[in-house]
Amino acid sequence: QSVAEKKARKALSKKGFEQVTGVTNLSVLRKKSPMFSIYSPDVYKNANSDTWIVFGEARVDNLGRMMNPGARSAARAAASATNPSDVLADAGASASAGASTADADADKEVDETGVASSDIELVIAQANCSRAKAVEALKNNSNDVVNAIMELTL
């Protein structure tokens, strides 16, 4: 910590900010922007309002595409939640629910008539989804690969 950072932290404590412990990772999600993550952040919250201040090194992450749909919805819920313990509970439940639905989708047989196998493989690779979901998205979007990927990742 630099001298300026120590002074900033001292000023925060005088203004009513209290350090929040137990936060290991903070992710900032914005529409049409990359996801930023801060690992091992120092988090402060104002007791009188819903104001948070975070110290740490921000890194650009591309985890939004790699997450399963359950974890992605948990991350979106985390962006709108104010209580970190609620976020952790919701994330665990959504991630486990997403994993079980992904396993169910992988076991289903799907009708691939009218859909090119190369398009299916491309959607699977880019959207990180099951074959059944890729075929369904391609059929919903008239075999348009770009729109199918967008449907599955957003």
Average pLDDT, rounded, for the chain = 74
> For 37-50, how does the pLDDT look when each residue is reduced to its tens digit (9 = 90+)?
888 888 888 888 88
Higher pLDDT, 21 or 104: 21
pTM of the model: 0.39
Residue 76: both structure tokens together: 């979106």
